[in-house]
Structures are given as structure tokens and as C-alpha cells.
Amino acid sequence: MDILRTVDECQRAARLIAAFASEHPNGEHIAPHSHPRAQLIHTLTGVMTVTCAEGSWVVPTGRAVWMPPEVEHAIRIAGDVSMRTLFVGPDARSDLPVTCEVIEISPFLREALVEATAIPLDYAPGGRDERVMELILDEITAAPRLHMHVPLPRDRRLMRLCEVMIADPSAPVTLEGLAAKVHVSGRTLARMFHRELGMSFGAWLRRMRLLLSLPRLAAGATVLEVALEHGYDSPSAFTAMFRRELGLPPNLYVKTRG
């Protein structure tokens, strides 16, 4: 595998599709940046949180986030992350996603992405290497999309409230209490959540706490620790919510996505 390949080399590659392998330690923060090519950012291990102006996407092991070209984003690493990134030129295909989204990575697509990192950047047109790259794009368009997104509002008042809840997800909050902080009624704040974020306050709060819990689980925190850190009175309450939303208990979720 060509582990000496750099991101800049992938951006300058003559072919429209290029792949890159990189390793990132627990706690690393990749500062805001953008690329002229779209990216599929996949993790073989650990959890990434990818943030841009539209919101935050939590990417556990076995998932990937699609990032359109020229979208500024930052990445936080939880657990040691083995990242595999596919860079796709804007003229590669017309059926690729145009917004940020998290997708399921099948075992087949995972192995194809790993293989792609060993393909030369100047692979011959019409040959086996090009067919592998095109097959990966086929799989990306067909892959299931996942609700791993915490949307963020444009309204400054609502943004301040969301930032406070994200900074301390264990703090008890109520709609009426939050509304008082920005001098509106609870009913008005509820409408603001629906208008700005497309979901209710309760649904946003559950989604935020759920997705923030994944990096902590990946870093080795116990279910008890994570439950208390994210506003739940007991591990059983947190586990019930986690299983209802993601289909598995928290102690199995990250492991089974490797």
C-alpha cells in the first residue's frame, strides 16, 4: 500500500478518482479545511466527528461521510482511527450526492476502498484499476443513508442554546427553561426548532446526546460513564434509547461496525 501518498497528490492526480490511507490518534483535531474534490471519508476503526456549517456528522467504525467539494469542514478523532479517503473530481459522475451525509459501508465496499489506496494515482484508463474505482462509485450511490447528523440552526439565539447543550450534554434542560434564556415562550421556541432544524426539541436533544456518546464509547468509556455524561439517570435508560435508535446496545455497536 502506498502509505507515502499525500492529500495534495490526490488532489492533483490526473485521474478523477484517487484514494488515500492515513492513521490518526485518539484526540486529534484536524482544523477546518476544504478540497476541490468531493470526499468519501471512511473509518476502519474508531469514530470521527465531522463538522461544517450545516451541522455535525458522527461517523462510527464501518460508516463513511460524503463531503461535497469546496465544503469547509473539521474532523475530531475519538479512538485510534484508520481513515480511508476517496477523492472524487466534480466531473466524475452526475449521480453522486450533492449534500453531506453518512452512508453505510458494506464489507464489499470496505474492501474495495482499502484496495483503492493501493491503486496508482496515474492508473491506466479502461483497465482493471479504473473499473475498481468506478465500481466504488456505483456502491456509493447504492449504499443506505444513515441519520447520523446533528443539524445546527442559522438563528443566532437558537444557535447559542444548541451550543450550550452540546458543550454540556449531561445538564438537565427543558423547553420552557431554554425559552426563558432567549426571552421567548416555550411554544415559540418549539416552532423555532421545527423551522430551523426540521425536528422537535426532544428529537434534536436525543439525537445530539446519542451521537455525542459514540466517540466516548469508541474511546473506551463505560456505558455507565457515557449514560451519566449525556443526561441519563441510569445505564438501562441510555441503553434502551440507544437500542431503539440504532438497533444494538451501546456495548456492541462500535465493535460490530469494524
Give the residue extent of every domain in the chain. 7-146, 152-256
* pLDDT > 70: percent of the chain: 96
pLDDT band per the 50, 70, 90 thresholds, residue 2: very low
Q: Could you give the maximum distance between any two Cα atoms of the chain, in Å?
A: 64
Cell of 131: 473499473
Beta bridge partners of 56: 51, 150
What average pLDDT does range 238-242 have in this prediction? 93
Q: So what's the pLDDT on residue 255?
A: 59
- Tell me the CB-side half-sphere exposure of residue 253, using CA atoms within 13 A: 26
Task: Indicate the fold that domain 152-256 takes in CATH.
Answer: Arc Repressor Mutant, subunit A (1.10.10)
Q: So what's the pLDDT on residue 254?
A: 59
Domain 7-146 -> CATH class = mainly beta
The candidate with the shortest Cα–Cα distance to 42, out of 25, 56, 21, 26, is 21
pLDDT band per the 50, 70, 90 thresholds, residue 185: very high
